[in-house]
Structure 1
């Protein structure tokens, strides 16, 4: 028998079953003490909010689960009544057929949503809608995978997301797994997208501005499918798109993004999420191309609103409030802005709107598109 004391071993390599996954990302991790330098009360505490896009994960060195998300909501003072969880490659099954491994993510989030409905973490119906992942390149063979995802979601599964964001320049990268060019318009992908539509499921797409014509083509070829374009359609502000030293400091090619967005908006089956501006790839912040996290101090809501106003206005002009929804993209955007400041910036940008338009972007579009339970909090 060993005489060594029974003490914890903090060496993760000695306990491989305790290792959480490392995920390479160009997005900076949150710095709570830095973010805490700017605190603001909610500018519209009565406004109901559905956070249309957030993630939850347990990664090595970066845990963001229900407790962390609930703390961000509670500390912000905003009235976030529900949220939509969106795929982020977390808690996939460790074994079994490759195509079915993403079912584990939906199983995991369904459990989180059950925790949230206990009320122990606050009143927010976290993961009222769940967006998972399926490989649409399977074509018609994706059908049984979608059925498994729907079963795993327990009535809350609403669709899949395919992060197709890719660019040939290595400086333009936010997606850990870049997609091949032309994926969205390939025959197998379109066939898989039709399987989504047959089940009343939606398709979230994270693409860059250089891929917007592919999104428009997909929307035209599968008009019966509801497509949700994430993160404002991927305006770029790094690498060859980085801001110059002109008076406007606007990244070049922003007009090309606006034009591409307009072409996508011509397809009535495409909806738009406004957000993701905390990601450095969009080129905002105090150091061009490095995001808001590059500042000595975090942005307050006035600074944030002023920075993103032109892009938010471009989104609204092309899609209207009835086809737009606001997102936090937390915890990704938490590297550059706090939850409370982010929603206050949105309140500033919409302060002059009528209440119907405000309700649309803050709550109603997401509720309609993701078919969220509005009157049954026990669901």
Structure 2
């Protein structure tokens, strides 16, 4: 550890964590959960041969999504952050994790379920905030937001995963581009603004122009860009034609840099320094450990983090682990420690803002 949070913050806020239980709650992975409990090796073998390329490259292995990932599991994964970064994780922000319940207000059941988890007990991290699921295009969006808020005021942001890529072999959540700039989405977005909620923009780097358009249409709303915009294929081949050559990867990097700089012109946009080990960046397709260690991770990400920091400034950056989605490739201590070392030369105030204070400003105080 070259730099440290020791004496700078008492506790880290991890702004991007998914909690789920596919055995007891309706999730996309619920269909895998019970077979995985009975025959994990068979399910993993079948996944490697029968799953689509999109899904294989997204999660690498089913074991992290087909099993419960709850407060206790995250606490165990984050246990080494104090040693690696100089301060423990004391609070998390849960980001909606694809609740599959039936009915227009079913997503509020995920919020209700979260309140039953033992956050803050017996040394477990606190729940700082909830990023809830809602679709501004739906006429019942406002009613759903009120249902979320009726459960707990910790609902402070909303996500509709808008990731779309022109490479059909890359996982997309919608079958066409332009979701964030569609007429219905822009019209319905006012339901979030009226309730003082922010919006999490989960997109790929080819969509960063759409995030800028949304930020311009609603300058009074806080827009949180997750995972630094996820430049698919930046570090290696993905899909059928993304990042397969040095020239392609250079083009992805150049386009990403230009879009990040342009997006930073909108003062209502905040960036999550998260998703550093996300498989879709192109690290490799083995089930685990495709990066090669903390030093390589830092070498890959230092120029990107420097660019994001130069563009947005320390007041508009927040740390997030993206766990357990990043778990196949890196530990939480590795992710946090890498970011501390990259940002450390910029001073204690930068570290204080990125690892705690900015999260408290964007999501509200931690109880």
Is TM (by shorter chain) over 0.5?
Answer: yes
Cα distance in structure 1, aligned partners of 2:92 and 2:158 = 16
CA drift at 1:87: 0.8
Change (3 A) 1:294 1:75: closer
Q: Where in structure 2 are the equivalents of 1:1-379 lying within 5 Å?
A: 44-46=5-7, 47=9, 48-59=11-22, 60=33, 61-77=66-82, 78-90=87-99, 92-93=100-101, 95=102, 98-112=103-117, 115-118=118-121, 120=122, 122-125=123-126, 127-139=127-139, 141-152=140-151, 154-173=152-171, 175=172, 177-178=173-174, 180-237=176-233, 238-239=238-239, 240-242=241-243, 244-245=245-246, 251-283=250-282, 285=283, 287=284, 290=285, 293=288, 295=290, 299-373=292-366, 377=367
Cα distance in structure 2, aligned partners of 1:84 and 1:42 = 25
Q: Is the 8 A contact 1:194 1:225 kept in 2?
A: no
Unaligned runs of 5+ in 2: 23-32, 34-65
Q: Is the 8 A contact 1:55 1:330 kept in 2?
A: yes
CA deviation string 1:67-110 (max 9, x = no partner): 101111224434112111101113x54x4xx2201111111112
Number of positions where the alignment pairs a residue of Structure 1 with one of Structure 2: 314
Cα distance in structure 1, aligned partners of 2:276 and 2:210 = 22
CA drift at 1:244: 3.1
SS in 1 for 2:97: coil
Unaligned runs of 5+ in 1: 1-39
Cα distance in structure 1, aligned partners of 2:12 and 2:21 = 25
RMSD: 2.3
CA drift at 1:180: 3.0
Change (3 A) 1:343 1:355: same
Q: Is the 8 A contact 1:49 1:79 kept in 2?
A: yes
TM-score (norm 2): 0.79
CA deviation string 1:13-34 (max 9, x = no partner): xxxxxxxxxxxxxxxxxxxxxx
CA deviation string 1:164-216 (max 9, x = no partner): 0011312322x5x3353222112221122111011110100101111111111
Q: Is the 8 A contact 1:89 1:105 kept in 2?
A: no
Q: Is the 8 A contact 1:244 1:252 kept in 2?
A: no
Structure whose alpha-carbon radius of gyration is higher:
1
Cα distance in structure 1, aligned partners of 2:177 and 2:229 = 17
